[in-house]
């Protein structure tokens, strides 16, 4: 039987097969397991070791942050405030981190709300 499941991180697909087989009274196991995505990273973005050796390609940090975190564009004054380690107005996302970008699109920080303000979890250094 071929089965496709869409699960979150931490799900043990082999255990699902075992438990399904036990529930049916026939036993169950996997003969193959293939990930088609991890979070927001689809299989199409995966590379073999040979491909990595041929053309090492790094995803820019700002691009990776856009794919993983909700974005927040800061004003110029907020960029300066965050870069000096100070807090800015809350993002409205609670303790879920957001990626903070400068008006030019560069990644400034990862922010997380603490009450009425957002604090920096990580600030990206500039030259």
Is 22 contained in some domain? yes
- Cα–chain center distance at 13: 21
Total domain count, the chain: 2
Residues 99, 49 within the same domain = no
Domain range for 27: 13-54
Reported as a single tens digit per residue, the pLDDT across 64-105 is 999 999 999 999 999 999 999 999 999 899 889 999 999 999
Instruction: Count other Cβ atoms within 10 Å, centred on residue 81.
Output: 16
Q: What would the mean pLDDT of 97-114 be, rounded to a whole number?
A: 96
Reported as a single tens digit per residue, the pLDDT across 41-58 is 888 988 888 888 887 767
Is 43 contained in some domain? yes
Q: What's the CA gap between 89 and 78, in Å, rounded?
A: 9
Total number of residues shown for the chain: 127
pLDDT for 115 beyond 70:
yes
Q: Which two tokens stand for residue 31?
A: 């003969």
* Residue 37 confidence (pLDDT): 87
Residues 117, 65 within the same domain = yes
* Neighbouring residues of 79: CB distance < 8 A, sequence distance ≥ 6: 102, 103, 108
Is 91 contained in some domain? yes
Residues 116, 72 within the same domain = yes
Is 2 contained in some domain? no
């Amino acid at each position: 039987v071929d089965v496709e499941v869409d699960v979150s991180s931490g799900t043990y697909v082999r255990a699902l097969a075992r438990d399904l087989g036990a529930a049916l009274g026939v036993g169950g196991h996997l003969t193959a397991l293939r990930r088609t995505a991890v979070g927001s990273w689809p299989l199409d973005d995966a590379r073999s070791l040979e491909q990595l050796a041929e053309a090492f390609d790094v995803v820019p940090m700002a691009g990776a942050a856009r794919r993983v975190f909700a974005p927040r564009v800061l004003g110029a004054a907020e960029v300066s405030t965050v870069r000096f380690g100070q807090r800015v107005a809350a993002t409205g996302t609670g303790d879920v981190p957001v990626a903070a970008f400068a008006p030019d699109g560069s990644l400034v920080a990862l922010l997380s709300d603490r009450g009425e303000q957002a604090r920096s979890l990580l600030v990206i250094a500039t030259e």
